[in-house]
Amino acid sequence: MTNTFPKTLHALTTITLPDANPNAGWGSMGTLVNRGQQVEISQARYDATKDVNGDSWLDYSEDEQQARWNEVRFRWGETPDNVRPWDKDPSLANLLRETELAEARKLENTAERADAVAAIFQKYGRGQTSQTIAYIG
C-alpha cells in the first residue's frame, strides 16, 4: 500500500485513533471516531498507530480486518451515503427520529407535514411501539 498522507478514512464502527503526538502520554486517550464519521489521517497520526515492528493496523485490508476483529472497522475515502451512524445503534435512530418528528409536526401545512413524517419514517424506520405485552401472575 502506498502511504501518502494526509488521507481520509471513514469508520464503519466506533474506533479509537491515537493522538498524532506520541508524547501525549496519559493526558489523552486518543480520538473516538463513530460509524459514518470521517477523519483525516496525517503522517504523524499514522505513525502513532505503528507497533514495535513498524506495522500499522491502518494498513489492514478488509479481509485482514475481518480476520482480526470479525468485522470491517474502517475504509479509506469519504463516507458513502449508505453508511449511516444509526444503522447499528437503535437508540441513536430513535433519538434522531423523535427529534426530527418533533420538528416535522410543527409544520402547519398538512401535506408538507405528512410528507416530512413519511420521509423521516423512510430514513429511520418506524421504531418500536411503547406497548408491552406481558403476563404478570
pLDDT at 3 over 90: no
CA dist., res. 17 & res. 40, Å (int): 11
- Domain spans, the chain: 7-77, 86-124
**pLDDT tens digits, residue range 69-128?**
999 999 999 999 999 998 888 888 899 999 999 999 999 999 999 999 999 999 988 877
Which residue is associated with the grid cell 498522507? 5
**pLDDT tens digits, residue range 4-28?**
899 999 999 999 998 876 665 555 6
CA dist., res. 45 & res. 9, Å (int): 12
Q: Among residues 19, 39, 41, which one has the least CA distance to residue 29?
A: 19
Distance of alpha carbon 25 from the chain centroid? 26
